[in-house]
Amino acid sequence: MPKKYHIDARPAPPRFTPVGRFAIIDFNEDCAGACHNCVKKKCIYKNYEKESDFVRGLDRPVEFLNECMSCLCCVQNCTKGVVSRVVNPEYGWLGDDYWKPEQIMSIWNQATTGKIPVSGAGYGGPFSGPGFDSMWTDMSEIVRPTRDGIHGREYISTSVDLGAKLPALSFDDKDRLVSQLPPLIEIPVPFMIDTPPFGEFSENVFESLALAAKEMGTIFITAPENITKKILKYGKAVAPRLDAARIGKFRSLIKASALVELEDSRDVVKHVKKIKDINPGVIVSVRIPLRNDAPERASKLATAGVEVIHFHAGTDGMSSDAKEPMFIKDVFRNIHRRLVSDMQRDRVTLVASGGISMAEHMAKIIICGADCVTIGLPFLIAMECRMCGGCVKGAACPVEMSKIPPRYGADRIINLSSAWRNQLLEVLGAMGIREVRRLRAEFGRAMFMEDLEKDTFERIFAGRK
Amino acid sequence: MSTKEKMRRDSRTPGVIPTRFRNALSKYRVIRSAACIGCGKCAELCPHGVHQRYAAYDKTLRPKDYECRGYECRKEKYFCIDKCPAGALSLNLNPVYEALGDYRWPADLLLSTWDQAENGRITNTMFESQIGKTSGGFDKLRLNFPKRISRKVDPEEVDMSLLLNRRSDDKITPRVRIDVPWYGGGMSFGSGSDTTMVGKARAAAAWNTFTCTGEGGYPEILYPYDDHVITQVATGLFGVREETVQRVRFIEFKYAQGAKPGLGGHLLGDKNTAAVARMREAVPGTALFSPFPFHSVYSIEDHKKHVDWIKAMNPKALVSAKVSTPSDVDMVAVGCYYAGVNVVHIDGSYGGTGAAPDIAKKNIAMPIEYAITKVHEFLKAEGVRDEVTLIASGGIRTAHDIVKAIALGADGCVVGTSELVALECIRCKNCESGRGCARGIASTDPELKLMIEEDWAAARIINLYRSWYDQIRAILAQFGMKSVAELRGRTDCLTHLDYSR
């Protein structure tokens, strides 16, 4: 039996104290002072132990506050009632409208431990929401078997293929294969690593990403000027992202790569051919900003023979249309349906990116029709990015991103990937699916909010006076 | 009813059962400074009992600020802050209030549930006690009271009982009726403390309903409450023995749990103490995973075999199938009925748990609000709706949620988290970490579990039930209904904010 694929996680504690959600404040002037009942001694999470370290040694900042587990025992038991809990204002500033503070914190925790987030009590979030929050994935019960992927009792494959596939093979009269097999890359995880949209970049950052890609067996896509000699060492784990004008300039890079990303342009099919002339074994992925008319563009390119099409939405997952932008999951369902009706779907690989901030988004976009995704920003957050936007404005990075040691950066990325892959296994296992390839466009194994509403509340309540 | 149980039966109105913590959480903070002269004026003025002064003591007591209405009082004649002759009182927002709760259980709902558990009724009407802030499902449904009541009903006369066995083809199982249209959810020995378990069981006995053992076996401390205990047969079969199956009147198969559908139960090693391990016949300190699914059930026929197996051991037992809410939940429910169960229990995806992956809690399977309608309609179309009791759970928080679930088509509900909130759970979501619940509710730690007393736990839950009982009876009377059974499937009693004009 072949060796089972597994991403080994190694704990990588944060270099900088992460921002915590809650802070405990105490009004020391009201404290009884010599109280023998001090609640701080009774904290079961031992958070206050570090406070006394600070008082004795005065050599570390008072950052223990960030680790409060918010059980409120100290607040409720203090004899003088001087302890109080507040939401850490810095926590509220994390991220933006789409990237919520709790998502960023969850990414940090996963990058630190490599474990999937587990917690007690029921889900506490909103009933549903825009984007990926308006769909639920299915599970199997009684009449359909589930699969136990997470505890390793059954193997669930997360491999996907990049490249064109033939609709059928042809053989000559002596049963010899005559079809020309196009190049195909199999990656063991349904994601590639993309260059984050912003960040305080340096060779160290790129090396972290390339090293992680190489160790996991996937591909890191970046602009050719980022591929320095050091990065070049990672060979086929690195793929250059070119625009049409610069194809000639990077001939040797194209020759050394297994995959090349090409920015979309009017004559893109011609330029794909140009790259293929330089290296017939290379797979060319056409990178297109996601627009609402993506189904037409995908249909045109697929019919023209493009092997891989990568649609990238904004970091908030929205298409780039100025008028009524659509969310990536809805556009991808349309793209998939269009390619199916064109009878092109199985020939072409569809890659999605943008707005994928949690493990579940990876599963959900695959259900909506993508073959795989590329992930950029989450890996930057894994390397402790706080999404403060400082680097965009030219300010210094609060976590000194550019100085990150490549080994450490790669470990954090690998930890996050391991946790995300395990969560994907949970979703697949619950559905009873043993291969992520089979999850693609399984619309029937998801429940969309609009359908559920139509079947229930709309039927009951609509049109009533 | 055994004599032992009669002796132990608790009153349904245990009175005021205050918080077990020194500082109750509140929305406002009323601070009495050292300038107080102890005149007792504030105690005379406040109609909400924030200030108290007893003749035998020359000082006014520390303000009960969780009863305070805050700035709402400002216009009233009894606004203590202005009236204090020494200017010793001040009022401000408690910063903890803003850091409390989440969308499903906002701070108001927690405070209101604590209020009900303390007093047996809603005393502080300032808190939102009916809905949360999830902007969907129950939180967008409202009760649609008729403008004119067709018949006048006295709330005292409303029949709140729920029949658990409706099968006309089942002549052996007795017709079990419980006094309230809900029963307690499963919380296994190991995930909860034994005080919590007994507290739940005593509340169930007092209200003649049931509580559930969860999947961790049947601890001896529950033996006095046999008639009000459901024993669960889950995929791990932890602690399931012939003897435990024969002890009870009601047996539940846990096919799936709403919070982690498609995944088995999960008891982390720290919580697996010697006592828990003995009950589960496992090694102490090891993490215990229940497999998923039942590897002996891959079809409805297999499920029937399971039911037959229970009925062979205990022919008079009611059998329930607890299932989660996948896209084909309606088919599963009908299949369960044909396999011979008395109760179909659907557990929606936002239900509680002691430990579950966040991805499963949020994403897998559909919310209960959709599933109730789907299953109710399907059972009706199949012509078997009146043969089976449909129980909904997974996100039922308040009396109003119960009313809404029944109006959507369920016969009754199962509640779990609310009971824990009555015991002052603040939903910090750390049930599973380290020594377990820091507040002693869901901890097997020998020291932490001493934070709760059994009598207190029982009385708090009984009080919450009391409050719900009275609220639901009042609602039904307002609808002109004489029994809770009349409400089932009456979607005309509801409106939905998205569709109402």
Query: Across the interface, which of A86, A430, A465 has its CB nearest the CB of B364?
Result: A430
Q: Answer whether residue B355 shows pLDDT above 50.
A: yes
Question: Is B300–A360 a contact, with Cβ atoms under 8 angstroms apart?
Answer: no
Contact B483, B159 (CB under 8 A): yes
Query: Across the interface, which of A120, A145, A358 has its CB nearest the CB of B431?
Result: A120
Residues 6+ apart with CB under 8 A from B133: A126, B103, B104, B106, B139
Question: Is B352–A122 a contact, with Cβ atoms under 8 angstroms apart?
Answer: yes
Digitized pLDDT (tens) for each residue of chain A, 465 residues in all: 567 899 999 999 999 988 888 887 777 777 877 788 888 888 888 888 777 666 666 555 555 556 788 889 999 999 888 888 888 888 888 999 999 999 999 999 999 999 999 998 999 999 999 999 999 999 988 887 788 777 667 889 999 999 999 989 999 999 999 999 999 999 999 999 999 999 999 999 999 999 999 999 999 999 999 999 999 999 999 999 999 999 999 999 999 999 999 999 999 999 999 999 999 999 999 999 999 999 999 999 999 999 999 999 999 999 999 999 999 999 999 999 999 999 999 999 999 999 999 999 999 999 999 999 999 999 999 999 999 989 999 999 999 999 999 999 999 999 999 999 999 999 999 999 999 999 999 999 999 999 999 999 999 998 775
Query: Across the interface, which of A85, A143, A145 has its CB nearest the CB of B335?
Result: A143
Q: Chain B partners of A122 at a C-beta cutoff of 8 Å?
A: 104, 259, 350-353, 361, 394-395, 417
Using H for helix, E for strand and C for coil, what is the string for B466-485?
HHHHHHHHHHHHHCCCCEHH
CB atoms within 10 A of CB B287: 13
Chain B interface mutation, best of A43, A127, A424, A451, highest count of B Cβ atoms under 10 Å: A127
Question: Is B350–A122 a contact, with Cβ atoms under 8 angstroms apart?
Answer: yes
Nearest-Cα distance to chain B for A442, in Å, is 13
Lowest average pLDDT, out of A124-133, A262-271, B59-68, B127-136, goes to: B59-68
Question: Is B300–A423 a contact, with Cβ atoms under 8 angstroms apart?
Answer: no
Contact B262, A429 (CB under 8 A): yes
Question: Is A457–B498 a contact, with Cβ atoms under 8 angstroms apart?
Answer: yes
Distance CA B345, CA B439 (A): 30
A113 touches chain B (CB under 8 A): no
Q: Answer whether residue B488 shows pLDDT above 80.
A: yes
How do residues B213-245 score in pLDDT, each as one tens digit?
988 889 999 999 999 999 999 888 888 999 999
- When pLDDT is averaged across residues B336-348 and rounded to a whole number, the result is 96
How do residues A430-445 score in pLDDT, each as one tens digit?
999 999 999 999 999 9
Return the pLDDT at A317. Answer: 96
A148 touches chain B (CB under 8 A): yes
Nearest CA in chain B to A424: B359
Closest CA to B293 of A116, A144, A423: A144
Q: Count CB pairs under 8 A between chains A and B.
A: 268
Separation in Å, CA A357 to CA A131, A381, B294: 12, 10, 34
Phi, psi of A374 (to 5 degrees): -115, 145
* DSSP structural state of residue A217: T
Q: Chain A partners of B286 at a C-beta cutoff of 8 Å?
A: none
Distance CA B28, CA B98 (A): 11
Q: Chain A partners of B494 at a C-beta cutoff of 8 Å?
A: 460-461
Between residues B53 and A147, the one the model is more confident about: B53
Question: Is B364–A119 a contact, with Cβ atoms under 8 angstroms apart?
Answer: no
Return the pLDDT at B432. Answer: 78
Distance CA B257, CA B265 (A): 8
pLDDT class of B253 with cuts at 50, 70, 90: very high
Core vs surface per residue B335-370: b (16+ CB within 10 A) or e: bbbebbbbbbbbbbbbbbbbbbbbbbbbbbbbbbbb
The residues in A 260-279 lying below 8 A from B, measured between CB atoms, are: none
Please give the model's pTM, rounded to 2 decimal places. Answer: 0.94
SS3 A162: strand
Residues 6+ apart with CB under 8 A from A178: A170, A171, A172
Distance CA A363, CA B357 (A): 15
Chain A interface mutation, best of B66, B363, B448, B495, highest count of A Cβ atoms under 10 Å: B363
Distance CA A227, CA A233 (A): 9
Question: Is A123–B349 a contact, with Cβ atoms under 8 angstroms apart?
Answer: yes
Nearest-Cα distance to chain A for B6, in Å, is 34
Amino acid letter, A21:
R
Amino acid letter, A241:
R
Q: Chain A partners of B367 at a C-beta cutoff of 8 Å?
A: 127-128, 136
- When pLDDT is averaged across residues B441-450 and rounded to a whole number, the result is 86
SS3 B171: coil
Chain B interface mutation, best of A118, A147, A442, highest count of B Cβ atoms under 10 Å: A118
ipTM of the prediction: 0.93
Beta pairing partners, A194: A221
Question: Is B361–A122 a contact, with Cβ atoms under 8 angstroms apart?
Answer: yes
pLDDT class of B367 with cuts at 50, 70, 90: very high
Distance CA B12, CA B462 (A): 6
Nearest CA in chain A to B260: A430
Q: Chain B partners of A140 at a C-beta cutoff of 8 Å?
A: 262, 293, 326
Residues 6+ apart with CB under 8 A from B292: A146, A148, A429, B235, B256, B262, B263, B264
Domains, chain B, in order of start with CATH, read 26-98 (3.30.70.20), 140-499 (3.20.20.70)
Return the pLDDT at B3. Answer: 47
Q: Quick one: tokens of A335?
A: 């793209």
DSSP code per residue over B436-477: S-TTSSS---TTGGGGS-HHHHHHHHHHHHHHHHHHHHHHHH
Distance CA B206, CA B198 (A): 12
Contact A82, A14 (CB under 8 A): no
A280 touches chain B (CB under 8 A): no
Contact A319, A335 (CB under 8 A): no
3-state helix, strand, coil in chain B (%, to 5): 35, 15, 50
Query: Across the interface, which of B24, B98, B351 has its CB nearest the CB of A87?
Result: B98
Closest CA to B300 of A142, A60, A458: A142
Nearest-Cα distance to chain B for A11, in Å, is 18
Contact B430, B437 (CB under 8 A): yes
As a residue count, chain B comes to 501
A146 touches chain B (CB under 8 A): yes
Query: Across the interface, which of A117, A142, A363 has its CB nearest the CB of B255?
Result: A142
Distance CA B138, CA A84 (A): 32
Residues 6+ apart with CB under 8 A from B475: B143, B399, B400, B403
Amino acid letter, B469:
Y
Distance CA A425, CA A148 (A): 9
How do residues B450-460 score in pLDDT, each as one tens digit?
899 999 999 99
Contact B216, B190 (CB under 8 A): yes
Q: What value does the CA radius of gyration of chain B take, rounded to a whole number of Å?
A: 23
Q: Chain B partners of A69 at a C-beta cutoff of 8 Å?
A: 428, 430, 433, 438
N-term to C-term CA, chain B: 52
* DSSP structural state of residue A120: S
Distance CA A306, CA A263 (A): 13
Q: If 0-12 CB within 10 Å is exposed, 13-18 middle and 19+ buried, where does residue B226 land?
A: middle
Backbone region of residue B87 per phi and psi (left: phi > 0; alpha: psi in -120 to 50; beta: other values): left
Nearest-Cα distance to chain B for A358, in Å, is 9
Contact B418, B397 (CB under 8 A): yes
- When pLDDT is averaged across residues B160-189 and rounded to a whole number, the result is 94
Beta pairing partners, B184: B415
Chain B interface mutation, best of A134, A457, A458, highest count of B Cβ atoms under 10 Å: A457
- When pLDDT is averaged across residues B266-275 and rounded to a whole number, the result is 80
pLDDT class of B4 with cuts at 50, 70, 90: low
Q: Are strands B177-178 and B162-163 parallel, antiparallel or unpaired?
A: antiparallel
Contact B235, B264 (CB under 8 A): yes
Question: Is A140–B395 a contact, with Cβ atoms under 8 angstroms apart?
Answer: no
Return the pLDDT at B7. Answer: 47
Distance CA B119, CA B121 (A): 5
